[in-house]
Structure formats: C-alpha cells, structure tokens
Amino acid sequence: MKKSLLCMALLAASTATFAQGFTPTRPIEVVVHTGPGGGSDLLARAVALMMEKEKLLPVRMQVANKTGGGGAVAAAYLAEKKGETHTIGLFTGVWLTNPLTSAEAKVSLKDLTPVARLVLEPALIAVKADAPYKTLADFVGAAKQKPGELKQSGGSITSRDNVVRQQLQKAGGARWQFISFPGGGERIAALLGGHVNMMVIEPAEAGEHIRAGNMRVLAQVADARLPAFPNVPTLREAGFNVTPVPQVRGVVAPPGIPRDNVAYWEGVFRKLTQTESWKKFLADNQFEDGYQNAAELTKFYEEFSSQMRAILQEAGVKTVR
Amino acid sequence: MEVLTGLMHGFGVALQPLNLLWCFVGVVLGTVIGIMPGLGPPATIAMLLPLTFLMNPASAMIMLAGIYYGAKYGGSTTSILLNVPGESASVATCIDGYQMAKKGRAGAALGIAAIASFVAGTVGVVGLMLIAPPLARMSLAFSSPEYFALMALGLAMVVLLAGRSMVKALLATLVGLWLAGIGTDLFSQTSRFTFGQMELLSGIDFVVVAIGVFAVGEVLANMEQRQETPMIEVPKGLRNLLPTLQDLKDSRFAFVNGSVIGFLIGVLPGAGSTIASFISYGVEKAVSRHPEKFGHGAVEGVAAPEGANNSETGGALVPMLTLGIPGSGTTAVLLAALVLWGFKPGPLFISENPAMFWGLVASMYIGNVMLLILNLPLVPLFAQVLRAPVYVLYPLILGISVVGVFSTSGSLFDVWLLAGCGLLGYLMRKLDFPSAPLILGLVLGGAMERALRQSLMMSDGHLSILVSRPVSAVMLSLALLILLVPLFNKFNTWRLKALDS
C-alpha cells in the first residue's frame, strides 16, 4: 500500500516537472476554420495522428470545424473561450488578412495567444505545357505588349495568387486579368482548358500535371529553390525583385490563459516539429518548415499585416483596418 | 477488350471477402448518414480518415466511396417522409416526394427513389468505366460562359416550377437570388447584406433555407388548423407499399434522363449534384405529357432527381481520378485521402494504379446492388413512421430539422436562421407563393453570378462571349425557348378566344 502511494507521488512529481505545471486532463479541442477536408482540417487531423504516434500528448485531440466568415467565426470562437486551457486553434494567413478587409471580422490573431508558426507553403507559377512562354520574363513581357489581355486564374482578390500578381505587375510594368474561382479544382481546370494563361499553384497539386506533360512551371514563389524543383528559378532568380509574401499555418490559443499553459503548448509543438513524422509530413506535402516560437510569431503578425495592407491598397482593395 | 480485362481484374479485387465486407460497411454507413440530416459524406469521410491508415488503400477507397454513393440513397428518405432534405442533393426530391407521402404513397416514392438510384448509379459507373478519360478532356472545354448558360437554363426552369401565378414565382426566384448574394463577394472581398453579422460573411447555407421553408414552414401551416388534421394514410399490406408496375412504366424516361444529366453535370468541376437534380427535375417536367401532376406527387418527379444525384457520383469521380481535379466537397476529401495514403492523383493515376481504379469501379457495381437489396426492404419499415399521430410527427420533424442544421455548422446562428426561414415558408404558404423557385434561385444564384462575372472578365466586358461559343449559345437558346413557350401558349388561347367571339 505504502509502496503504491510512493509510486503515485513519484509519478505525479515527474509529470509535473515534465509539463512545467500544466498537464491536459481531458481531450484537446482543435478549432479550424475550414470544413472537413479543407486545408486546416486536414492539417489538424494529421497533427492529431502524429501527436498520438509520437506520444507527445497524454490525451486525444478532437477537431472542431467552426466554418464561416473566412476564419472570422473560428477566431471569434477562440476569443470567447478566454482562459480555456484545453482549446487551441490552427490559423492561416487568412486570419490576418480577413480582418483587414471585413469590418465584421472583429477578432484578429493579435487578440489571441500566439503559440507557434508551423508551416510555410511555397507556390509555383505555372502555365499550360503548350503555352509559348518558356520563362517568367516571357510571360510578363507578353502581358506588357498586350495590356489586360492575358489572364490568370486564382482565388479571392486577397489571396496569395493575387498578391503575387500585384507584385509581378509592379516589378515588370505589365498588367493582366485576375479571374477568381472559388475552388482549387476550377482554377486548374481553367488553366488546362486554355481559358486562362497562368496560375499560382501549390507544388503538390502541380507535380502530377507536370509529370503528365500538361503543365510547365516558370518560377517558384519562395526564397530558396524547393528540393523537388531544383531547376526552377525563384522569383528573384527569374529577374523580378519582389519579396514573396509567405503563406503560413500555425497554432494559437485563447486569450488570457495561464503562463504555464502557453509554455506547455510551445514545448509540445516545438517537440512535434523535431520528430521524423513531422519531417515526413512536410516532405509529402511539399511544405517548408516554418517554425517560429510565440515571440517571433508576434513580430511576424506585424510584418505580415503591414505588407499585406500596402499590397491590397495598391491593388485597389478597400481596407477597413 | 482492355475494359473487359480491367473489369475482370477489378472484380478480382472487389470480390475478395475483406473488400466485400468493407464495401458493405461503407454503403450501410452511407445510407445511415444519408438518412440523418446534418452530417454529410465529406464530414464522415474526414472523420474516418485516421482509421483508414490501418487498412489496405484499395479496401479503404472502396469503403469511403461506398459512403459517398450510399449517402445518396439514404438522402431521399427524410425528404419524402418528413419534407426534411437529408442532404443538399435531395432538396428536389422533397417537391414531389412529400406530396406522394401525403397521398399515402410514401412507400411507392421511397421504392422508386431506391430503384432510380440503382439504375442511375449503375449507369454512372458504366460511364466512369467506359468514357472517363475522353470525357474529362472534353469537360475542360467547358468554361465560365458555358457555366453561365447552364445556370441560366436551370433558372429558366422557374417557369416550370411556378404554381398558379407566374408573378409570384418570379418574385420568389428574385428573393432566392438575393439570398444567394449575401456574404463576402469573391471578386472584390466586400461584404454584401451582412448587416454587420460575422456569421453572414460566408453567405447562407442553402440547406438551412430549404429545411426551414419546406419542413418547418409545412409544420407551422398545418398546426394552425384548429380541428384535428387527418393523419397521413399509410395503406396496409406489403404490395401497396411498393411502387406499382405503372409507376415503373411512368418513370421509364425519368431513369434515362436522371442518369444522363446527372452523370454529365457530375463531370463538370463547377457544378454539383444539387444542380444536377434540379435540372433533371425540370427537364422531366418539361417533356412530360402531364406536367400539371408535378408538384402534386408525380412519381417521375421523384425518380428523375434521385437518379441524377446518384449518377452524379460516377460523374464526379471522372475529373478526380483522371485529372486529379475535385469537383465537389466529397471528392476533395477523397482526393486528400489518396494523397495521405501516398498516392499521386493526377493524369497518370489510372494507368499507374490499375488495381485501385478497376477495384473501385467493380466495387461500385457490387455496392449499388447491395444498396438496392438493403434499401427496398427498409421501405415498408420507414413508411410506418407516418403512422405516428401528428402530436408525435410534428415535434419529430422540428427536432430533426434543428438537430440537422445545428450538426452541420455547429452554430446557433443557423438555428435562428432556420426559425426565420420557417416563418418565411409559412408566410409563403399563406400567400400562395411557391417555395421551389426560391430554393432554385438560391442554389443557382451564386454560381450564375460568378460565371457571368468571370466570363465578362475574360472577354474584357464584351457580352458577346456568352453567345459566340456554340455550347453556351445552344443552352441559352434553350433557356429562352423554355421562357417563351408559356407566353406563346397564352397568346394562342387568347387568339382562339378572340376567334370564337
């Protein structure tokens, strides 16, 4: 009897030191802003699997889909959970961009507790395989000769697709049309069908179309070349002096949570990003390791928001904040 | 010949006992989630993804696809019995299905829905098997102007869905179009009609409106009657609970129409099963010899949309498997599953993974047979639900509606929206406004507006792009024809009257 008591005391003491005062006691709710199958949803489910496999959490993670308002509903939900220690959220850059243009999106990432930045998503600039453009300069040059005649398919006007366009138009002195499609599949279909001339595409999406000979990549929207595309120049190498706006994903917690809770989450996600499972996940999806701790992430918010605000205003998008 | 060897190989995969079991698990699960409003196939598949890592990918794909097409079978059940659409693709089924139930023909409606699902589901798989690659290439020629023409054609169906008054039908359509405009505009990122409500930023989910206007509105209108409302009759005897030979005969064309339209629209990445089911309903009514029966319990009005939303499954898998392009929410999750299992979906997928593709195709034939055998015996069972007295039935309908809406989005805002739409549905009944045109406007409005604006951006503002392309020109002329026929008829009656006098 005495022995088991001692054991329990020892066990309690060891967990306490490991967890720096906080240990989750019930399942963790992971809030995402996309429906099942969306980018954040899939990331959350992959993270939950890896946490289990690498035994980083003593409890399970449950995904909560709070869709709507382009992230605004999920952010507001987290803000309402003030002080809640068993809820976290996965954010994307949309959580920063959306409050810039929508007055209704009142909660920004800055109102939540930063934990970690996890992923950077690079992108490629692709054209149809039979297009006459061999380099990015070819495309921009052709657009310059026929202003407004070439077309690009993409997402909303505040998406990275349009940001890249704005930057390239400015750097190259050209102008082309940007046509919004709500779904990624429709954007690719518009390019492959020859209805638009160019698109910004994620490497994992483009890979198979390139291999099948349907698509050609002109440049990559990244600071350094991706391992899977060693022969494709970055924007700078292609002769366009622009700073790519990163597409990011990371973790936040509700506001007003205890300090040891923040430290716990920081520790868990730091450890996650050092595991083999995580490295394999990044490689499989052709993501880049974008790890930043909470302090760096706070700084990143400011840089990202001001860069986006400037680009959007230049593009003629009305900003409200 | 190549198809035959592939199919033989595929049945070799699909008939393995374990794969048969997974196929069965998938279709049963699909039927169950189809019956329950709210939780749809994409959410179910996403939740099951972690489990599939323990399975062989071919078995997992067979099971997940089973959920996808199984849900289409189940979706009609609550539409017909309770006027609560189980999923967005079953909204069109409510129109005639519930009317049939009210006339004591719930069993026949459920039975014809299962048979139409089986026929069209199988036709969809045949299409997927035989003509997937060329069809996928052809679908790429379809762009924004063609989508606009397709949506315009769909909207012209309003004329066919109108009740006694065309003016009221058009007004209802306009309200539907306005509802579709609520939310953040994709092109300019400005909010429209959100009234400062964050929940409205991404627009209104049309399933909430459909359940509110159809189910809640119906309950409210019936509750008003002071005297005991007569119960919906359910005939006794198994024979009276199944479709008659005459029903099957009447639905002959609806099976073909639903199969073909569902499959073709399914192949297009920018349209889905909801649009497919509405368009095939409209076509069915347009060519029918007794269009006046539609909306009052015509059996073809159940067979056509139910067929369309099932063959759409086969169609939607075409761009996903041959090009790696997802056309709907469910195929997007299936595509993500393939990536997670280490496959590379894309143009080379079928030729590099023949066992997976043919196994899936063969399992879909088997799964459709399983679903028919599973669903037909359930028909008499489900039809008994209507035996419940109104003081049980109406609370049940309201309960299912609220739970269904809340479980889709997890937001109380949508429940309030449901209540508001219920009130709207009640008022529309009182004032004799037809509700189907409102739903049609809401379903098509968003996609139609986007397609028009995309087209005009492509042509630098010239409207000629809409008529200079053959496919869109043909569809727009058809739409115009549908709109003009009633006018012509009216003129004709007036002329005859004038001649007589």
Helix (H) or strand (E) holding B41: helix B41-52
CATH code for residues A123-221:
3.40.190.10
Percent of chain B at pLDDT exceeding 70: 97
pLDDT at B229: 58
CB contact under 8 A, A189 and B140: yes
Q: Which of A67, A148, A181 sits opposite B460 (nearest CB)?
A: A148
Provide the terminal-to-terminal Cα distance of chain A, rounded to the nearest Å: 64
CB contact under 8 A, A105 and B198: yes
Q: Residue ranges per domain, chain A? A: 26-120+246-314, 123-221
| Chain A residues in contact with B45 (beta carbon < 8 A) | 36-37
Mean pLDDT of A149-174: 91
Q: For testing the chain A interface, which of B52, B188, B198 should be mutated: the one with the most A CBs within 10 Å?
A: B198
Q: For testing the chain B interface, which of A45, A53, A104 should be mutated: the one with the most B CBs within 10 Å?
A: A104
- Searching chain B, which residue's CA lies closest to the CA of residue A215? B347
pLDDT at B236: 66
Poorest-pLDDT segment among A11-20, B77-86, B418-427, B485-494: A11-20
CATH architecture of A26-120+246-314: 3-Layer(aba) Sandwich (3.40)
- Searching chain B, which residue's CA lies closest to the CA of residue A98? B189
Q: Residue ranges per domain, chain B? A: 2-500
In this model, does residue B248 exceed pLDDT 60?
Answer: yes
Closest listed residue to residue B309, CA positions, set B79, B29, B10:
B79
pLDDT at B157: 79
Q: Which of A46, A64, A214 sits opposite B347 (nearest CB)?
A: A214
Beta bridge partners of A113: A253
CB contact under 8 A, B339 and A285: yes
How does residue B237 score in pLDDT terms, banded at 50, 70 and 90? low
In this model, does residue B196 exceed pLDDT 90?
Answer: no
In this model, does residue A19 exceed pLDDT 50?
Answer: no
Q: Is B421 on the interface with A (CB under 8 A)?
A: no
Phi, psi of B224 (to 5 degrees): -65, -30
CB contact under 8 A, A182 and B186: yes
How does residue A17 score in pLDDT terms, banded at 50, 70 and 90? very low
CB contact under 8 A, A211 and B188: no
pLDDT at A319: 85
What distance in Å separates the CA atoms of residue B33 and residue B36, rounded to the nearest whole number? 5
List the 359-398 stretch of B: residues with Cβ below 8 A of A.
none
Closest listed residue to residue B315, CA positions, set B300, B330, B298, B299:
B330
Beta bridge partners of A127: A216
Phi, psi of B164 (to 5 degrees): -75, -35
The first and second tokens of residue B442, run together, are: 């809401």
The first and second tokens of residue B370, run together, are: 């399983």
| Chain A residues in contact with B458 (beta carbon < 8 A) | 151, 177, 179, 195-196
Query: Which pTM does this prediction carry?
Result: 0.85
CB contact under 8 A, B47 and A36: yes
Q: What distances in angstroms separate CA B12 from CA B8, B66, B358, B365, one per listed residue?
A: 6, 18, 9, 13
pLDDT at B60: 92
Q: Is A179 on the interface with B (CB under 8 A)?
A: yes
Phi, psi of A151 (to 5 degrees): -130, 150
| Chain B residues in contact with A197 (beta carbon < 8 A) | none
Average pLDDT taken over every residue of chain A:
88
* DSSP reduced 3-state for B341: coil
Q: Is B454 on the interface with A (CB under 8 A)?
A: yes
Range B477-485, long-range pairs (CB < 8 A, 24+ positions): B478/B153, B478/B156, B479/B149, B479/B152, B479/B153, B479/B155, B479/B156, B480/B156, B482/B153, B482/B156, B482/B157, B482/B159, B482/B160, B482/B286, B483/B156, B483/B159, B485/B159
pLDDT at A1: 42
- Searching chain B, which residue's CA lies closest to the CA of residue A75? B198
CB contact under 8 A, B458 and A177: yes
Q: Which of A49, A190, A284 sits opposite B143 (nearest CB)?
A: A190
The first and second tokens of residue A54, run together, are: 């690498």
In this model, does residue B256 exceed pLDDT 50?
Answer: yes
Q: What is the pLDDT of residues B61-75, one digit of tens each?
A: 999 999 999 998 888
Q: What is the pLDDT of residues B349-375, one digit of tens each?
A: 888 888 889 999 999 999 999 999 988
What distance in Å separates the CA atoms of residue B265 and residue B253, rounded to the nearest whole number? 18
| Chain A residues in contact with B199 (beta carbon < 8 A) | 68-69, 73
B196 CB burial (10 A radius; 0-12, 13-18, 19+): exposed
In this model, does residue A11 exceed pLDDT 60?
Answer: no
Judge whether A26-120+246-314 and A123-221 match in fold: yes
C-alpha distance from B424 to closest chain A C-alpha (Å): 23
CB contact under 8 A, A104 and B340: no
Q: What distances in angstroms separate CA B454 from CA A186, A227, A264, B448, one per listed residue?
A: 12, 36, 48, 10
Q: What is the pLDDT of residues B141-190, one digit of tens each?
A: 888 999 999 999 888 877 777 777 888 989 999 999 999 999 888 888 88
pLDDT at A18: 46
CB contact under 8 A, B43 and A36: yes
Beta bridge partners of A249: A92, A119
Q: What distances in angstroms separate CA A258 from CA A84, A250, A293, A299, one per listed residue?
A: 9, 20, 17, 21
Closest listed residue to residue B299, CA positions, set B114, B73, B83:
B114
CB contact under 8 A, B49 and A45: yes
Q: Is A36 on the interface with B (CB under 8 A)?
A: yes
Q: For testing the chain B interface, which of A195, A277, A312, A317 should be mutated: the one with the most B CBs within 10 Å?
A: A195
**Under a CB-based contact definition with an 8 Å cutoff, are residues A258 and A244 in contact?**
no
**Under a CB-based contact definition with an 8 Å cutoff, are residues B149 and B278 in contact?**
no
The first and second tokens of residue B271, run together, are: 């349209």
Tally C-beta pairs within 8 A across A and B: 167
What distance in Å separates the CA atoms of residue B408 and residue B208, rounded to the nearest whole number? 9
The first and second tokens of residue B368, run together, are: 């459709």
pLDDT at A208: 87
Q: What is the pLDDT of residues B10-50, one digit of tens each?
A: 898 889 999 999 999 999 999 988 888 777 788 888 888 87
- Searching chain A, which residue's CA lies closest to the CA of residue B333? A37
CB contact under 8 A, B348 and A209: no
pLDDT at B292: 81
Q: Is B450 on the interface with A (CB under 8 A)?
A: yes
What distance in Å separates the CA atoms of residue B301 and residue B277, rounded to the nearest whole number? 10
What distance in Å separates the CA atoms of residue B300 and residue B306, rounded to the nearest whole number? 10
List the 113-172 stretch of B: residues with Cβ below 8 A of A.
139-144
CB contact under 8 A, B325 and A106: no
- Searching chain A, which residue's CA lies closest to the CA of residue B184? A69
Q: Is B227 on the interface with A (CB under 8 A)?
A: no
Q: What distances in angstroms separate CA A107 from CA A34, A86, A100, A114, A217, one per listed residue?
A: 17, 20, 11, 14, 38
How does residue A20 score in pLDDT terms, banded at 50, 70 and 90? low
Better pLDDT: B295 or B260: B260
State the complex-level ipTM. Answer: 0.85
Alpha helices, H only, B344-469: 349-352, 354-383, 390-409, 412-430, 436-458, 465-468
What distance in Å separates the CA atoms of residue B334 and residue B328, rounded to the nearest whole number? 10
> DSSP per residue over B108-136, as a string?
HHHHHHHHHHHHHHHHHHHHHHHHHHHHH
What distance in Å separates the CA atoms of residue B240 and residue A78, rounded to the nearest whole number? 55
